[in-house]
A and B are shown apart, each in its own frame.
Chain A
């Protein structure tokens, strides 16, 4: 690891002494992107996360080589997709002859801080919305263009472009007020066992983070780094695509990306990372 669980190390004092050097160095590793943006990769858990004392970004659990990829935008393969979305930002689409830029102006100004607070309750719509839902709302209503498929490349790349404008800012998702019901629904889903393997999110990401799952270290399942560039499929992956993969791995019928259940789960999981930095696009294996 990365975050070898200290309680297991503690059982053998001699072994602890041997491992302590490298393990503690890893424990201390900090993420600074472009020698400029300092990311919070570990911090105290928010009060509403009862079973964790410290929350960790998924970056902490990755190998040195994978970690290094995220420390420079040139090395981060996810930035290719951000560039593609930046071109889309100014591209006029739909019957109203508008691009994203027509209403929102420069993406750096217009989208600053947006990623950090989503999913959020949108008063005008009377529902909790993810960034993807908001983008498609713009596309269908403001632009009169075809909506993007929820986990499509175009969609995920655009979410990544918007995330970049909030990099380094703390995730700050509101869980009270009108969003509370949805949050409770997400929390229930988080602790509900699914599939033939009867696993809930918590069984892996709360009870066993830092331990191996096959050849990989389990993270806390934080989504502050999404969209995530995964080395295994060489593209950006959206939150709901990841949820779908996880639920599938419990051998269950999954919810659909964009469904109410996943929106609720995203709200809850995002709120578990309140205080970590927005990292998207992050690099994971």
Chain B
């Protein structure tokens, strides 16, 4: 597992039914592209978050493929319509096989 990886998300605590809310996500990750070389000239192996998904009550909201050119600490912001109270589940997939996830509940009100 890459060091210092920490997922963060910002979701409103409440929304009205059918409302489109803005969701902000950020994961601290070095996103090593695999193109760089160290001082001795050896290639630094690629290590990136390659996929990000968000599900709401089991239904997929967004699924993103991330490429090596995406900079460090990838930030993804998107809108989602909330039909009912429930839970957003966020998942990031690392090149090294690690999976990071976090969840946030939204109430209707």
On A, residues with C-beta under 8 Å from B are 74-75, 77, 80, 83-84, 234
* B30 CB, min distance to chain A CBs, angstroms: 10
Contact call A80/B24, Cβ cutoff below 8 A: no
> Interface size bucket, B side?
10 to 19
Closest B residue to A234 using CB positions: B72
* 8 A Cβ contacts from B15-63 to A: 24, 26, 28
- A and B contact pairs by CB, cutoff 8 A, 17 listed: A74-B8, A74-B10, A74-B24, A74-B26, A75-B24, A77-B73, A77-B75, A80-B6, A80-B26, A80-B28, A80-B73, A83-B6, A83-B28, A84-B4, A234-B71, A234-B72, A234-B73
B residues bordering A, Cβ < 8 Å? 4, 6, 8, 10, 24, 26, 28, 71-73, 75
- Kindly count the residue-residue contacts between A and B in the assembled complex, taking CB atoms under 8 Å apart: 17
Chain B residues whose CB sits within 8 angstroms of the CB of A234 once the complex forms: 71-73
Interface SS majority for chain B: strand
A67 to B26, CA, bound (A): 19
Shortest distance in angstroms between A187's beta carbon and chain B's nearest beta carbon? 39
User: How far does the Cβ of B24 sit from chain A's closest Cβ, in whole Å?
Assistant: 6
Q: Using CB atoms, name the residue of chain A closest to B30.
A: A234
Contacts of A83 in B (CB 8 A): 6, 28
- Chain A nearest CB, measured from B94 CB (Å): 17
Q: How far is the CA of A234 from the CA of B71 in the complex (A)?
A: 9
Q: Which residues of B contact A84 (CB under 8 A)?
A: 4
Query: What residues of A have a CB within 8 angstroms of the CB of B4 in the complex?
Result: 84
Give B77's nearest chain A residue, CB to CB: A75
Contacts of B71 in A (CB 8 A): 234
- Min CB distance A98 to B, Å, is 23
Q: Which 6 A-B pairs have the closest CB atoms?
A: A74-B10, A80-B28, A234-B72, A74-B24, A80-B73, A77-B73
B26: which A residues are within 8 A, CB to CB?
74, 80
Task: Pick from A74, A83, A84 the residue with the most CB of B within 10 Å.
Answer: A74
Q: Which residues does chain A contribute within 8 Å of B73, judged by CB atoms?
A: 77, 80, 234
B6 surroundings in chain A (CB, below 8 A)? 80, 83
Beta-carbon nearest neighbor of A84 in chain B: B4
Q: How many angstroms between the C-alpha atoms of A83 and B5 in the bound complex?
A: 11
Distance of A124 from chain B, by nearest CB (Å): 35
